[in-house]
């Protein structure tokens, strides 16, 4: 496992984020990836219920996690009984996949949710993008 610094997103991360999205999203080119970064940055600027976290390794932003604190979540806008942590955009640069970075970012999402009193966390994954097996577990309340 690579230890990384988990910190909030800043504009200086935009190039690393675009390069990661180019490799992990169905982006046709770097310009489209940059447009998606602009969308994510705008979401966190305009909402008090969204946060974008970055995993940094040796000064390079290599993982990104957009969390949303919401009651409506899911592919069809399903509603939770109470507010929950929704993981929306979750991207790890392929050079750093399988090294524990996802686990560290998910731990940050769990930490942020617990700090807000949340008890549920939802993650939607496009099957075409799954490259590694992962486990789920319940730590209890």
CATH number where 124 lies? 3.40.630.30
Residue 106 in any domain: the answer is yes
Q: Phi/psi at 77 (nearest 5 deg)?
A: 75, 30
* Confidence (pLDDT) at 84: 81
Residue 137 in any domain: the answer is no
pTM assigned to the model? 0.83
Range of the domain at 65: 5-129
Identify which of 128, 54, 116 has the alpha carbon closest to the alpha carbon of residue 85. 116
- What is the DSSP-derived secondary structure letter of residue 135? -
Q: How many domains does the chain have?
A: 1
Asked if residue 101 lies in contact with residue 135, where contact means CB atoms within 8 angstroms, the answer is no
* Confidence (pLDDT) at 120: 81
In this model, does residue 99 exceed pLDDT 90?
A: yes
* Confidence (pLDDT) at 127: 58
What is the rounded CA–CA span in Å between residue 99 and residue 79?
Answer: 33
Residue 102 in any domain: the answer is yes
Give the model confidence (pLDDT) of 18-51 as tens digits: 999 999 988 999 999 999 999 999 999 999 999 9
In this model, does residue 53 exceed pLDDT 70?
A: yes
């Amino acid at each position: 496992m690579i230890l990384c610094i988990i910190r909030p997103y800043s504009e200086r991360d935009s190039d690393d984020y675009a390069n990661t999205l180019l490799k992990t999203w169905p982006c046709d080119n770097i310009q489209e990836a940059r447009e998606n970064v602009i969308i994510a940055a705008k979401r966190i600027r305009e909402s008090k219920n969204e946060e974008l976290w970055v995993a940094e390794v040796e000064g390079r932003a290599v993982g990104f996690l957009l969390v949303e604190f919401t009651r409506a979540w899911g592919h069809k806008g399903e509603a939770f009984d109470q507010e929950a942590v929704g993981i929306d955009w979750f991207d790890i640069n392929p050079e750093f996949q399988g090294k524990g970075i996802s686990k560290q970012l998910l731990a940050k999402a769990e930490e942020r949710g617990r700090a807000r009193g949340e008890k549920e966390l939802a993650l939607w994954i496009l099957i075409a993008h799954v490259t590694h097996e992962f486990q789920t577990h319940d730590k209890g309340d």
